[in-house]
Amino acid sequence: MGVLNLAVRDGVLLMTIDHPPVNALSRTVRAGLMEALARLAGDALLRGGVLLGADNIFVGGADIREFGKPASAPTLPEVLAVLEACPKPVVAGLNGAALGGGLELALACDARIALPSAVVGLPEVTLGIIPGAGGTQRLPRLTGLAAAIRLIGTGAKLKADEALRQGILDDIAPDDLPGAAIAWLHGPASAKRPVSARTVPADAPSAVEAAAQAAVKTGKGRPAVRAAIAAVKEAAEVPFAEALQHERHAFETLRASPEAAALRHIFFAEREAVRLPESLRQKPRQLETIAVIGAGTMGAGIALSVLEAGFWLILLDQNAALLAAAGAGLLRQLDERAQAGKISFSSAERARERLILANGWQEIDSADLIIEAVYEDLSVKQEVFRQLDAYAKPHAVLATNTSYLDIDQIAAATSRPRDVLGLHFFSPAHVMKLLEVVQGAQTTPDVLSAGMELGKRLQKLPVMCENRFGFIGNRIYNAYRTHCEFMLEDGAWPEQVDEALEAFGFAMGPFAVMDMSGLDIAWRMRKSRAAGRDPRARHVPVLEALCEQDRFGRKSNIGYYSYDGGKRAKETDQTVRAIIAAASEKRGIRRRDLSPEEIQRRALMTMANEAALLLAEGVAQRASDIDVVLVNGYGFPRWMGGPVHWARGQGRAKLEEGFDIIGEAMGFGFRRGDVDLLL
């Protein structure tokens, strides 16, 4: 068995790519295709060929082991040129995902037939590049410019029925895919008909421009998106061969860019993050029934994720009205998501049948894993865990959804701390992919494995970390936000800090985020830790002053900013500025202008310093996990790769200088991270 298996059936050469796990187009696969195409062209007894993929996938894309490396012969464009020039017709049989180079391979065939489960897409822009083997030229010849821009410019994926409607597929086979492809080759439409010879279907210029603007907005104007749009437009303006050269040049240029390197870094980091260290890998405990304690916003969001993942769900809350409202909301959301095509109607119906609403502790005795999602208060959570200790079955996994509380103090409320771990979901829980899986001092490896397994089955990114205040994400974000408050006292206004960091690429600036999440949440956390704060440490009292005036952010329509009909004011008002100016005066600071560049550098250096401290303490098991957490949970720009990747690009001298600056700003209590841990 090689990477390309050949067989002859009814005068047709079946070429099956067999290169686990995703049939990636590695050099050996490309070389095998060249040999198979030579056989097809030279054998007079063969009528045509069919390209297939083994193990329920066509081709998942390029070989990730070749990412960032110069292409080796034969390149994919060379293979596709030979495929298209082959004198015998070739049909692509899509039995699963055809993504990136996999779809480009299919587009170079004379026809495309798929199973109903197939998915197609050209997601290259998500890696900071564009399709480099004709995807930007062949696709619009099937779909028109507007649809091609929507697909390529956003990296979206299409199900088989939609791909058929848009002209990407020629047919959908209900079952016997090889048989359907062979029948096509013996049918009346079996002549060679290369996509490159077709003209681009006419689209209204306004439709093309609307699609381009939407793609730019979705992709935040990144260079790869703009390059993809320009390349697609050339399909209607430039001869095919010339446009292919332009496409390849843009592909190679983008592939060598820092942005593409950052996106490759986070791509690999996410795949590594879900792996536990060798010493902790054990078979996870069985998970079939999940209980969620607390029917509030977070609990309901977790519950929806659990239902859609196929688990039985017990949602428990002793507030009957809240429980009934949450249950009705879950059923409504399942219906809405089915109507929107996000899940099938049959899946929604099965999920409805798996929902159990409970208001008595005894009803959780069948749960394999129980997630507490109540108010963020240590004593409240400890009381819940006393109940879990009494009613949960032996060996059930007991999980707390907490943002910053001590897992071990919560576990101490039980007689079985070995069964306890943290599962820090991010809000909204059914949308956000990140899940911090927190190991307590006594958490056993099989419990930790169960937490990671749950994350994967919920289609989230589980990242393991040790039990320290704030875990990975909130620990770094708290340091970042605190230093941004220092910059308020030093002379910046909140909107200047927010604008500078949004210009860097953050989804939102820190003060806009605080207003959105609620200033009272941070205020409550600070009050709980106030007794342990050294009075010599720099502390900015602005947030407390705002909360004392009932300025809690969006929930009260006024916080750092005021909100009119939900719309945020561009600038902070005089009340906020007076509070900040008073804080500066009390500390004896002469306010000065801070440039956007200084704001960005100080904020990012603070993140990098805290990341080094986390690594030294063993909170994160690998540096790249920190990048995964900050990119997926805290709005750090993906195309910058995360704070550690950013720090590595600065070099030792700039990091040392940056740490000096933030250390001087903080003063007493500053802990300097080890630069070597970042490089």
286-323 burial: b if 16+ Cβ within 10 Å, else e: ebebbbbbbbeebbbbbbbbbbbbebbbbbbbeeeebb
- Chain length of the chain: 679
Catalytic site residue from 84, 124, 259, 495? 124
Q: Which of 412, 420, 418, 459 is nearest to 437 (CA)?
A: 420
DSSP, collapsed to helix, strand or coil, labels residue 197 as helix
CA distance 439 to 424: 11
| C-alpha torsion angle, residues 454, 460, 463, 469 (rounded to 10) | -90
Number of H helices, E strands in the chain: 27, 19
Q: Which of 140, 28, 25 is nearest to 80 (CA)?
A: 25
Catalytic site residue from 35, 66, 78, 104? 104
- The answer to whether 353 and 326 have CB atoms below 8 angstroms apart is no
Is 124 among the residues known to form the active site? yes
CA 619 to chain centroid: 22
Cα distances from 573 to residues 227, 494, 558, 559, 589, in angstroms, run: 41, 10, 10, 10, 21
Going by their DSSP bridges, the two strands 289-293 and 369-372 should be labelled as: parallel
Phi–psi pair at 49, nearest 5 degrees: -135, 160
203: which 2 tokens? 């689209």
CA 263 to chain centroid: 12
CA distance 634 to 516: 13
Other CB atoms within a 10 A radius of the CB of residue 339 amount to: 11
Beta strands in 287-433 (DSSP E): 289-293, 312-316, 355-358, 369-372, 397-400, 420-425
Q: Which of 108, 110, 134, 109 is nearest to 122 (CA)?
A: 134
DSSP code at position 620 = B
- The answer to whether 51 and 109 have CB atoms below 8 angstroms apart is yes
CA distance 93 to 58: 8
44: which 2 tokens? 């007079």
Burial of 478 (0-12, 13-18, 19+ CB in 10 A): middle
- The answer to whether 268 and 628 have CB atoms below 8 angstroms apart is no
Is 308 among the residues known to form the active site? no
- The answer to whether 17 and 2 have CB atoms below 8 angstroms apart is no
Phi-psi group of 527: left, alpha or beta (phi > 0 → left; psi -120 to 50 → alpha; rest → beta): alpha
- The answer to whether 158 and 123 have CB atoms below 8 angstroms apart is no
Cα distances from 80 to residues 35, 91, 134, 285, 678, in angstroms, run: 13, 13, 8, 47, 42
CA distance 612 to 629: 15
- The answer to whether 196 and 84 have CB atoms below 8 angstroms apart is yes
Q: Which of 470, 501, 458 is nearest to 600 (CA)?
A: 501
User: Which are the catalytic amino acids?
Assistant: 104, 124
